[in-house]
Structure 1
């Protein structure tokens, strides 16, 4: 049954393809396309790339970060009334996940492999970036 349907579809597509005439482009098709391409190239419209986080955003982030560090370093109040002591951090280390992972140890070989992979990754990204930038400039 499936073979008959496939053969019918194949014959139908062959018949449709044979009966449809070929479409010819207009007389000036190539010249009009090439003129549009040269017009686009002559405009030299350069895309201005904007960073995801602006300089003002980085400034605000760094000011907040420095303010938190300064608040922690220069806080002279008693430790019993300190606002940081009111936060219950026991949830971070008294749960099922940490109790399961406490017996897990990472082999030194895996640690070395991950560190070397990260180091090579950090080295190769700038090298590849400069390589592709040079290719695009030539």
Structure 2
């Protein structure tokens, strides 16, 4: 599987969107774009979706590629989509990969969006 091309969020978003990203854990979702494995996202209506994260907005809207939507009542009932877009307000929980170093990934994303925030006093 091919690792998706990353574009720095620094060039994509307005000042307000950068502030929203830096002050929430949405910044962690940006790092999931590089993972070639499927991510599970639980929705507020008890459904869940598995897919490859291709895009994330500062408002936690997520675009998944090769996605599968699972129904909560029936184990074998699911729908597949080549592209599936989730609004951030419908997301309940995102299952992070076990091998993801959360602190390191957040630091990398902050460095991309606002390098001046990473300057530490010594």
TM-based fold match above 0.5: no
User: Which one has the largest radius of gyration?
Assistant: 1
Larger RCO of the pair (alpha carbons < 8 Å, separation 6+) = 2
User: Which band: TM-score by shorter chain?
Assistant: under 0.3
**TM-score in terms of structure 1 length:** 0.16
Q: Which has the higher strand share?
A: 2
Compare the two structures and name the one with the higher helix fraction.
Answer: 1
